[in-house]
Amino acid sequence: MLPAAFLESAMTDAPLTTDIAIIGAGPVGLFSVFEAGMLDMRCVVLDALDLAGGQCAALYPEKPIYDIPGHPKIEAQALIDRLVEQAAPFKPVYELGSAVSGLTGDAGQGFTLTTAAGKSIRAKAVLVAAGCGAFGPNRPPLAGLEAYEGKSVHYLVKRREDFRGKRIVIAGGGDSAVDWALSLPEVAAKVMVVHRRPKFRAAPESEKRLHAMAAEGKVEMVIPYQLDALEGEGGNLSAVIVKTLEGQAKRLEADHLLAFFGLSMNLGPIAQWGLNLDKNHISVDPATLQTSVPGIFAVGDIANYPGKLKLILSGFSEAAMALHAAREIVHPGKVHHFEYSTTRGVG
Ligand code: FAD
């Protein structure tokens, strides 16, 4: 549930001119609103998804994060709720469900962003906090998969409770697969883990715990198997067929399949905006986070520079540095006296 302050700002009759247009309402985009506000800059925040929170909200809302300074443990959605609350005093305008397709202009004249739905936003500077770009799951190549998607085949867990009393097949060998295999037995009737080889790509400690749970009979390991086919009717799964590389098949009776084969990154329209790119990332100056186009900054997972760490905490620091640099464009010639938040206060 989003705080009331969020809903209030989301419903504001959006002024379509702003100081900073932030592309991406992930954790880094949200914290950027706070940093911009502290420097007297207004923001419009656009996201292709119809919810704020980026990967945290869309991919792992109930998972605890352990490396946010000051929070020994915080669930991903709770972190997003706090960031939204922290940004609220600066009254950001949220344009959710708005994929930014076009970006033109320059630091002198200002920038124009256009959304896929044809809306325009004018901004003095732009902060690209677009994570992996338009991200989507890697989908297993199974016949008739579409009919089951969203009903009994899922690529993320939004609410663990949805799986209470259900028989679940988890496919994949990374952190998401292992973490949910550790967590879901607390609510599910049965959890089966399908992986093509004995070694997992998850954190070693998690993998150890998974094998311990399997030894206790809490999880059934189906190794070395791969997904082969789905059985069911009307989008409701009744079984998942798995096969070894040699073609030996097994039928797993199940209500849900959770397929965790990672995300495919697609920069989408961002690749057409004339920014210097390094594979699927935007190259930036690490001192200012400015891209190859003056006035356009990139922060968070999408930004790349030597030594880059793709962590939320790095993104927060990048946001602060980028917005200090952007301030020179938004308020040119205005003398800035650096102030701590304790001195300045918020709002
Ligand atoms: P994102 O969270 O990716 O948000 C980017 C947003 O931009 C998205 O909402 C997307 O829809 C939007 N967008 C993209 N293109 C456009 C466009 N053209 N128009 C409009 N909107 C657009 N990090 C940690 O620090 N600690 C952890 O413990 C941790 N655990 C993780 C566990 C899992 C399972 C996963 C998947 C990631 C984890 N991470 C962790 C990584 C962390 O989630 C990312 O580093 C973080 O989300 C990056 O934030 P961001 O704001 O840069 O981008």
Q: Identify the pLDDT of residue 12.
A: 47
Q: Identify the pLDDT of residue 265.
A: 67
Residues of the chain whose pLDDT is less than 50? 1-15
Cβ pair 297, 289 in contact under 8 A: yes
pLDDT tens per residue, range 280-328: 899 999 999 999 999 999 999 999 999 999 999 999 999 999 999 999 9
Which residues, judged by CB distance below 6 Å to any ligand atom, belong to the binding site of ligand 1? Answer: 23-29, 46-49, 54-56, 59-60, 65, 67, 99-100, 129-134, 175-176, 268-270, 300-301, 310-313, 315
- Return the residue whose CA atom lies nearest to atom 37 of ligand 1: 55
- Return the residue whose CA atom lies nearest to atom 28 of ligand 1: 65
Distance 62 CA to ligand 1 centre (A): 15
pTM of the model: 0.74
Distance 173 CA to ligand 1 centre (A): 21
